[in-house]
Amino acid sequence: SQQGEEDPQALSIQEGENATMNCSYKTSINNLQWYRQNSGRGLVHLILIRSNEREKHSGRLRVTLDTSKKSSSLLITASRAADTASYFCATVPTGANSKLTFGKGITLSVRP
Amino acid sequence: NAGVTQTPKFQVLKTGQSMTLQCAQDMNHEYMSWYRQDPGMGLRLIHYSVGAGITDQGEVPNGYNVSRSTTEDFPLRLLSAAPSQTSVYFCASSYGTGNFLSLHFGNGTRLTVT
């Protein structure tokens, strides 16, 4: 069963706007990761945040983690049409034996 | 660097047929895994391996077999295909495991079982 659940399921924004996507999870985690999937392709790792971190940045991406609320958010600033893709959060639960569990994903459309 | 290579890209099987989905990585990653992706279901872990000779079940292992004789290769075998196995299959590898698990994915095999 899915550990992470993303919200919203779909998001449509104008180029240049910021996109915020949320992920909630159920059990305690070692780390949380965000992946991107372009249509017809495999997933690409974007960023990993560990349970003892609260915020990480990578280029136009900012990820936050609130372990007390069991939630994370992914912010893409100044979005581009090329950011159109599905985004997945994935968690490594504590004591997980190396199992990375994915949510169902968010479809982001960036209109030119 | 090819990364993670999956073959074939597309496959159509009849119910009851068997086949092997191939996965190879050239990054010397110890960890390899297979996921299936279905609409509205996200990705679900089928089997994984933390090194040559070691495999373990994921969330949905029934109907699938794996083996890991080398670091590079991790084939997925469908023993007797069923329409419920129609899906897109992804192989993924990682240098680290546990808290250092971070996956590199292949581009998938789209399987249709009629």
Per-residue pLDDT band for A96 (boundaries 50, 70, 90) equals: low
pLDDT surpassing 80 at residue B35: yes
Q: Which DSSP category does B73 fall into?
A: B
pLDDT tens digits, residue range A22-68?
Answer: 999 998 998 999 999 999 999 999 999 999 999 999 999 999 999 99
pLDDT surpassing 70 at residue A14: yes
Instruction: Specify burial of residue A10 (Cβ count, 10 A radius: 0-12, 13-18, 19+).
Output: exposed
User: A8 preceded by cis ω (within 30°)?
Assistant: yes
* Contact status, residue B102 vs residue A45, Cβ threshold 8 Å: yes
- Distance between start and end Cα atoms, chain A: 36
Per-residue pLDDT band for B40 (boundaries 50, 70, 90) equals: confident
Binning chain B into helix, strand and coil, the percentages to the nearest 5 are 5, 50, 45
Residues of B whose CB is below 8 A from A29: none
Question: Whose CA is closest to B30, among B104, B73, B94?
Answer: B94
Q: Tell me the count of A-B CB pairs closer than 8 A.
A: 62
Per-residue pLDDT band for A95 (boundaries 50, 70, 90) equals: confident
* Contact status, residue A108 vs residue A19, Cβ threshold 8 Å: yes
Q: Are B40 and A42 in contact (CB < 8 Å)?
A: no
Q: Are A42 and B42 in contact (CB < 8 Å)?
A: no
B84: tokens are 């419920």
| Mean pLDDT calculated for residue range B66-77 | 97
Shortest CA gap A63–chain B (Å): 16
Residues of B whose CB is below 8 A from A100: 33, 45, 101, 103
Rounded to an integer, what distance in angstroms lies between the CA atom of residue B34 and that of residue B23? 9
